[in-house]
């Protein structure tokens, strides 16, 4: 019986980074959907500031995750997973890494091209990445909206799979990423 083995768990730094990114993305996507629909006014400005700030936070956290993943690695796949499950989970995780980094960079780039400021939680403003070019901004934002919903879809699949392991198969896949205080390995 391998249940309860701590050797298969992610390192603590990987768990922290995972849950910080998860919380940020799950906060910022509903904010994005609301901000483009509420109409002009102070509420919309606040939602835009929050969306951009969480986006920049996700960019920083994802770069840290990438470095951490290269340095600390990841535990071997949970024993007992079917080959298709290993392929599906690696593909989903890899896509989420790539899309989250490109999405955040694309948002910052489009925002710069639009000539809008890029605030970070009211602490400071990030520099603009390029000179104003509204036509280019419109094109990058069109891609940004589509990729945003692709990320939301992948996140939903990722969360559903985690709960399927936790409640359905009752293996240790979820516990590998859960903090020890919440029953993680």
Cα 147 from Cα 18, distance rounded (Å): 20
Cα 159 from Cα 153, distance rounded (Å): 10
Nearest residue to 143 via CA among 95, 96, 93, 109: 109
Smallest distance from ligand HEM to CB 165, Å: 24
Q: Is 10 an interacting residue with respect to ligand HEM (CB under 6 A)?
A: no
Q: Is 113 an interacting residue with respect to ligand HEM (CB under 6 A)?
A: no
Q: Is 145 an interacting residue with respect to ligand HEM (CB under 6 A)?
A: yes
Q: Which of 52, 65, 165, 176 is close enough to bind ligand HEM by CB under 6 A?
A: 52
Q: Which of 10, 50, 96, 107 is close enough to bind ligand HEM by CB under 6 A?
A: 107
Cα 79 from Cα 85, distance rounded (Å): 11
Q: Is 56 an interacting residue with respect to ligand HEM (CB under 6 A)?
A: yes
Q: Is 33 an interacting residue with respect to ligand HEM (CB under 6 A)?
A: yes
Instruction: Using the CB atoms, write b or e for 14-47: b if 16+ within 10 Å.
Output: bbbbbebbeebbeebbebbeebeeeeeeeeeeeb
Smallest distance from ligand HEM to CB 90, Å: 20
Site string for ligand HEM, 147-176 (x = CB under 6 A): -xx-x-------------------------
Q: How many residues line the site for ligand HEM (CB under 6 A)? A: 24
What six digits make up the tokens of 22?
């998860």
Q: Is 55 an interacting residue with respect to ligand HEM (CB under 6 A)?
A: yes
Of 110 and 173, the one with the shorter C-beta distance to ligand HEM is: 110
Contact 44, 160 (CB under 8 A): no
Residue 142's CB is within 10 A of a number of other CB atoms, namely 11
Q: Is 141 an interacting residue with respect to ligand HEM (CB under 6 A)?
A: yes
Smallest distance from ligand HEM to CB 9, Å: 26
User: Near ligand HEM by CB under 6 A, which window of 22-30, 74-82, 85-93, 175-183?
Assistant: 22-30
Cα 145 from Cα 32, distance rounded (Å): 9
């Amino acid at each position: 019986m391998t249940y309860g083995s701590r050797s298969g768990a992610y390192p603590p730094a990987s768990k922290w980074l995972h849950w910080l990114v998860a919380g940020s993305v799950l906060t910022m996507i509903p904010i994005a959907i609301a901000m483009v629909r509420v109409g002009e006014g102070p509420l919309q400005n606040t939602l835009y500031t929050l969306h951009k700030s969480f986006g920049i936070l996700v960019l920083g956290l994802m770069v840290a995750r990438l470095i951490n993943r290269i340095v600390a690695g990841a535990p071997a796949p949970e024993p007992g997973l079917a080959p298709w499950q290993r392929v599906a989970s690696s593909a989903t995780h890899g896509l989420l890494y790539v899309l989250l980094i490109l999405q955040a960079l694309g948002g910052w780039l489009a925002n710069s091209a639009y000539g809008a400021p890029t605030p970070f939680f009211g602490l400071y403003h990030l520099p603009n990445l390029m000179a104003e070019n509204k036509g280019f901004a419109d094109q990058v934002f069109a891609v940004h909206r589509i990729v945003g919903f692709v990320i939301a879809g992948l996140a939903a699949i990722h969360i559903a799979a985690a709960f399927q392991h936790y409640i359905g198969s009752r293996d240790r896949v979820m516990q590998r990423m859960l903090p020890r205080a919440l029953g993680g390995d």
